[in-house]
Structure 1
Amino acid sequence: MSRPTGSLWPVLVLAARISPRKVAGAAFLLLTGYLATPVVAVLLSVVTRAAVQRDVPAVVWCAVAIAVVVVFELLMGHFAHLLYFEVGESQETVLQERLARITNGTRGVEHLDNARFADVLTLVRRDLPATRGVLEAALQLCGLIAQALITVVLLGFLIPWLALLPLVAVLPVLTSRRADAVLEAAKVAGAADERRARNLLILGTTANAVCEMRLYQAEDEVLRLHRESRAAADRLLERARLRAAVLRAGGQLCFALSYGAAIFLVVRQALAGQADVADLVLVIVLALQVGAQVAAVLGLLTTLQGAGRTLTRIDELEALAQAGSTSEGSGPVPARLRTGITLEGVGFRYPGTDEERLHDVNLTIPAGSTVALIGENGAGKSTLVKLLCGLYRPTSGRILVDGTELSELSAADWAAKVAPLFQDFARLDLLVRENVGVGALPRMHDDEVLREALRSANADAVLQRVPGGLDGLLGRGYGDGAELSGGQWQTVCLARALVRERPLLLVADEPASALDATAEHALFERFAELARAGAQDRGAVTLFVSHRYSTVRTADLIIVLDRGRMAESGTHAQLMNNGGAYAELFRLQARAYL
């Protein structure tokens, strides 16, 4: 998992692609500044010798030279920071975009149900901001290496065996790497608790959830669960940090003893007349610089190791996403449905589970028909909807569109022909224009089309109450936007579905769950109108999930699911005559309104 040197090259390549001039400039400035440090040691030696010889002009000039060199080093570091900091921020943005592409870049969404994917994603989200400092660490490491080489040469000129002193730094470097490995293992072991703690924190700080928890008086329980999860993750980290501290202390103690021994031997040589005071000062200053270099290298290696782990995890996320997806189809999606959609022996289970959510579903949805899916919660209705949308692929059986397997069609082209309104619809804290226009990006700036979609979704009132109209902000995620009720949000999301151009599959999963009776009636009237127009124009299929049988009865085909199996199918009249589960449920619901 750890790859500090392996992460260095990709980081530099990425930085060079973003801005080669800034990277080259930062490297030059930083390297030039780092080379000033050994020069200061030499000048201190010279000023000491001049002081011993009472050469006042030489002392003054050396003191001025030392001040100039120190200021020069600080300036070089400052200007280098201005260059590499901006590139580092751009690097983080590039990695964020890569993470988003991995999460959203496959045909299906199976990887999002993978527990390992979720754990790794949590770790990457937490550590990704630290990658902006990787270029700085890489450049500083290169500067320290150049600085250490000059230090070795200077020590070797004075006393040859002192050139071995920097080699002792290998031990604290190795123990530091081992300490980082211990910490990394603890983070991985506590990833599930970390994810649970983060989710509970979000639950305890989100307005809608806070209101409900307050009324249920469950705030203390949520906080308790958060503390338990946080403590479980922290216990692993605390033990790992203690072990890591012992490892690091051991390595640094060995280096300190070696450093003390070197100083002792030089002092003894000075007392024996084999070295003067200036040489002693030079050795002490250079040895101090070696100690500072070792400490800095350990910190930089930790940063690079962290970056290496983050890059490795991003690679793992990409592998998990690709493993959960299958090859992309490239077949053309028909402009018009002629026979319809057929399911042959379709079965499905979510990744990482053995439970079959759908079992041997055989079904034909004729072109131009309106289909209603009903069944108890957990019967598999939403799963079947997502299969038809192409978000998942069956684990057994196949889905055919006009006789061609759905998996063989272009995923992007099929997605463009699906107009969805899911029960857990996305509430985007964006402009009204963007909330609706995301349903058909090329039409986002066509005001008339957007307004028509909003009218069709009965969302005129929403548009009127939002300051700025189409260019008004919804939600308060990053600005003072308009807050909508659940039903109002649902009409906006319905407009997002209706703005799609010539869809072949219009999907509504519990579309009226947040609407009042008047809005629900208007919605299904509009659905019926759209279904008729789509059926005549292009053989489009309208599929909706509902628990309200007064609307279900109008469908051309009603499908009853029971624990993942298709229990019944037919028209309202046929199912009532059969006297099965549908008839029983319909009469039960009808009696509730008498």
Structure 2
Amino acid sequence: MRETFRSGLTLFGLVIRSAPLLAAAEFSAAIIIAVAVPLQTYGLGLVVDGIAAGDGVLRGMVVLAGAIIAYFGCRILSSAVQSAMEDRVEGSLNRELLAITTGIPGLEHHERPDVADRLAVIREESRYLKYGATTLASALAVAAGSVTVLALLVVVHPLFILLPLLGTVRVLCAGRAGRLRLRAMEATADRHRMIDMLTEIAKSPRHGLEVRTFRLGDFITERLALLHSQRDEPRWAAAKRAAGIDVIGRIVSALGYGGAIGFVVWLSTQGTVGPSEIVMVVLLVPQVDRAAAELSNSSNELTWALGTVANFRWLRDYARSHAPTGELSPAPARLETGIRFSDVTFSYPGAQRASLESVDLFLPAGSTVAFVGDNGAGKSTLVKLLARFYDPSRGTIEVDGQDLRQIDPESWRRAMSAGFQDFVKFEFETKEAIGIGDLPRLDDRAAIEHAVVRADAEGVVEHLPSGLDTQIGSRFSGGVELSGGQWQRVALARSFMRNDPVLLLLDEPTAAIDPESESALFERFAAASATTAANTGGITVLVSHRFSTVRMADLIVVVEDGGIAEAGSHEELMAANGHYAEMFELQARSYR
């Protein structure tokens, strides 16, 4: 109950923050509408009394007319503000969800199944959570209307105070039904995520080549049918149980309300109630039933909405618990000594074995460092730890002698830049797709052009119809699709937007570029690294499988089975005649 109350307050707070004036108008209109309906019945009763007593109907007509005017006036107001309020709530919720998920410093939440399932439920239902504002208004309206109806009925006979008990039965049944549906949804969230993934594969042009080459159409269709069955059958079973519970509530309510009408008819035969009381009870009892039905529907919808809000609150609490704590230092503007790994061990969430084990490594300030090794050796993991997407499971990473965990993550990210093999294809105008690499200079065309030169991407821009002003990507009208290598050069230019970062991470940044172009590009990397080293003592870290290009690095680190097998310059490692020399010669022979 406490958690439900807290979720209710969270939803109410979200609605008020999103659209305070619209929410106030909607809530007020809903309450007035709910109260106006029984007041119309009360006014009609006064009219009947006036006719029976022969003393006029003016008082009853005033009440009746006032209630009707208030009802229709507030209906117009509600219809005018409701959709605008819901859109505001939806936009605010989406922004808050984005702020929460992107505000978590690391990537662990993307790889934990329990977090992924919660996120799937939130994503599936958050688009409908905007209606939670209307549901809150309905709940308030039902409560206000029920109190008004009950007050009028109790005037007729005190026993009518028991009628809310019948409504409570129906509401409890509806709440139970809603919880059954929500639990079924949460229990099948993993299947729903898989359905989304396969649907995206089936409809995305990016996956079309492999889907058709390997004739995966029937396979995906059959897998989707199985997943739909595994997702929908538990949900359908829960829906049937929920419907049965709801029917029980409806039957109990119907019997009770029928008995109430029979009771007032019996009272009339005893002469204890007059015509107006009979009219009021006959008209108000169905309103009690309707209020119970609305409250049960609102309860059902509110149970679902509050369940979604509970997941939202869990995600918010998770983000807070994973936020940096204590006094944090800003990132250094200049590296004096370098970055040191001391006995660093790291395991990904849920992994059976460590990806890195007892790593000791020193990256000198101002150096260009290359990580080489087989796939899965741990190279990218080292890069992720340097970017502080994760913290070591054991050991420390020190920046000029200070533990990286004591440096503010946002400040550290602002002081670094990166280019990744799995880059994002931002389908913006070209200048924006590059400029977002340094948001404060998003509109600095000279800086963007300089980044293009550093990334050797002039050829890409020159071939675009409107140069940097060209919309790239095929999803939008007039958009120009790029090749894999062209997209990668745009991503590289983005990584070069920041001038003189203290750490530049390039994780397989040229995987889609031919070896000859890569060699020329790395010469530019070397020149840029030298400038950065002189200005900030910055370190450039490069991950590549092409040994002919990494030989220019000051320090080459050979990563093998989660540890450091060798480290030194190209000449030193070749002279050592170890694993690096073997891999270098093997690759050189393959190119020859």
Is TM-score (shorter-chain normalized) higher than 0.5?
yes
Q: Provide the residue aligned with 1:16 in structure 2.
A: 16
Alpha-carbon shift at residue 193 of structure 1 (Å): 1.3
Alpha-carbon distance between aligned partners in 1 of 2:395 and 2:260, rounded to the nearest angstrom: 76
Conserved 8 A contact 1:379-1:564 = yes
Distance 1:507 1:22 in 2: 48
In the other structure, the counterpart of 1:473 is 471
Alpha-carbon shift at residue 578 of structure 1 (Å): 2.5
Residue range with higher mean Cα deviation, 373-382 or 63-72: 63-72
Question: Which sits farther off after the overlay, 190-199 or 515-524?
Answer: 515-524
Distance 2:21 2:543 in 1: 57
Which letter maps to 1:421? G
Q: Which residue is 1:263 aligned to?
A: 261
Asked whether the 8 Å contact 2:429–2:471 carries over to 1, the reply is yes
Pairing of 1:493-512 with structure 2 (within 5 A): 493-512=491-510
- For residues 257 and 448 of structure 2, the distance between their equivalents in structure 1, rounded to whole angstroms, comes to 74
Q: CA offsets per residue over residues 92-135 of structure 1, 9 Å max, x none?
A: 32222221122121332222222111110111111112222222
Q: Quick check: 1:476–1:482 contact (8 Å CA) kept in 2?
A: yes
Partner amino acid for 1:455? V
Cα distance in 2 for residues equivalent to 1:63 and 1:321 = 59
**Per-residue deviation, residues 296-346 of structure 1 (Å, max 9, x unmatched):** 111112222223222221221133334445536622433332322211111
Preserved contact between residue 5 and residue 304 of structure 1 (Cα < 8 Å): no
Q: Counterparts of 2:561 and 2:179 in 1: how far apart (Å)? A: 47
CA-CA distance at 1:399 after TM superposition: 1.2
- 1:239 is displaced (CA, Å) by 1.2
Structure 1's 77 and 116: CA in aligned 2 closer, same or farther, altered over 3 A? same
What CA deviation, in whole Å up to 9, does each residue of 1:397-418 have, x standing for no partner? 1112222222222322221221
**Cα–Cα, structure 1 residues 68 and 352, in superposed 2: closer, same or farther, change >3 Å?**
same
Correspondence 1:211-250 to 2 at 5 A: 211-250=209-248
Specify the alignment match of 2:26 in structure 1.
26
Identity within the alignment, %:
34
Q: In structure 1, what is the Cα distance between the partners aligned to 2:306 and 2:409?
A: 34
Q: CA deviation at 1:514?
A: 0.7
Deviation at residue 493 of structure 1 after TM alignment: 0.9
Q: Is the 8 A contact 1:341 1:366 kept in 2?
A: yes
1:333/1:410 contact within 8 Å kept: yes
SS of 2:369's equivalent?
A: strand
Q: Pick the aligned partner of 1:393 from 391, 394, 402.
A: 391
Give me the whole-angstrom Cα distance separating, in 1, the residues matched to 2:76 and 2:493.
Answer: 52
Q: Is the 8 A contact 1:337 1:539 kept in 2?
A: yes
Indicate conservation of the 8 Å contact 1:556/1:571, yes or no: yes
Letter in 1 for 2:119: L
Q: Once the two structures are superposed, what CA deviation does each residue of 1:416-435 show, in whole Å capped at 9, x if it has no partner?
A: 22120011112212222322
Q: Could you report, residue by residue, the CA deviation over 1:25-68 in whole angstroms, capped at 9, with x for unpaired residues?
A: 33333322222201232344456678889xx9989998999688
For 2:570, the equivalent position in structure 1 comes to 572
Instruction: Render the CA deviation track for 1:427-470: whole Å, top value 9, x for unaligned.
Output: 21222232212211111111111111112212223333445443
Q: 1:371, CA displacement in angstroms?
A: 1.5
Q: In the aligned structure 2, how far is the partner of 1:48 from the partner of 1:475?
A: 72
Which residue of structure 2 lines up, in the alignment, with residue 593 of structure 1?
591
Aligned twin of 1:343: 341
* 3-state SS, counterpart of residue 396 of structure 2: strand
2:154 pairs with 1:156: yes
Distance across 1 between alignment mates of 2:441 and 2:558: 37
Deviation at 1:256, TM superposition (A): 0.8
2:114 pairs with 1:109: no
Q: When the two structures are aligned, how many residues end up with a matched partner?
A: 592
Residue of structure 2 equivalent to 1:295: 293
What is the rounded CA distance, in whole Å, between the counterparts of 1:187 and 1:27 in structure 2? 30
Q: How far has the Cα of 1:84 moved from its partner?
A: 4.2
Q: Which has the larger displacement, 14-23 or 173-182? A: 14-23
Q: What's the offset of the Cα at 1:138?
A: 1.8
Q: Is the 8 A contact 2:19 2:89 kept in 1?
A: no
Residue identity matched to 2:118: V
The 1:402/1:214 distance shift into structure 2, 3 A limit, reads same
Q: Is the 8 A contact 1:4 1:304 kept in 2?
A: no
1:440 aligned residue: 438
Alpha-carbon contact 2:451-2:493 (below 8 Å) kept? yes
Return closer, same or farther for 1:529/1:250 CA change in 2, 3 Å cut-off: same
CA contact (8 A) 2:370 2:555 kept: yes
Question: Which amino acid counterpart does residue 177 of structure 2 have in structure 1?
Answer: A
| Residue of structure 2 equivalent to 1:464 | 462
**Which of 502, 521, 524 lines up with 1:523 in the alignment?**
521
Contact 1:171 1:255 in 2 (8 A): yes
Q: Give ranges in structure 2 of 5+ residues lacking alignment.
A: none
The separation in 2 between residues aligned to 1:159 and 1:243, in whole angstroms, is 37
User: What TM-score does the superposition give when structure 2 sets the normalisation length?
Assistant: 0.93
Instruction: Tell me the secondary structure at the aligned position of residue 438 of structure 1.
Output: helix
Distance of 2:90 and 2:316 partners within structure 1: 17
Following the alignment from structure 1 to structure 2, what is the Cα–Cα distance between the partners of residues 21 and 320?
31
> Does the aligned pair in 1 maintain the 2:18–2:92 contact within 8 Å?
no
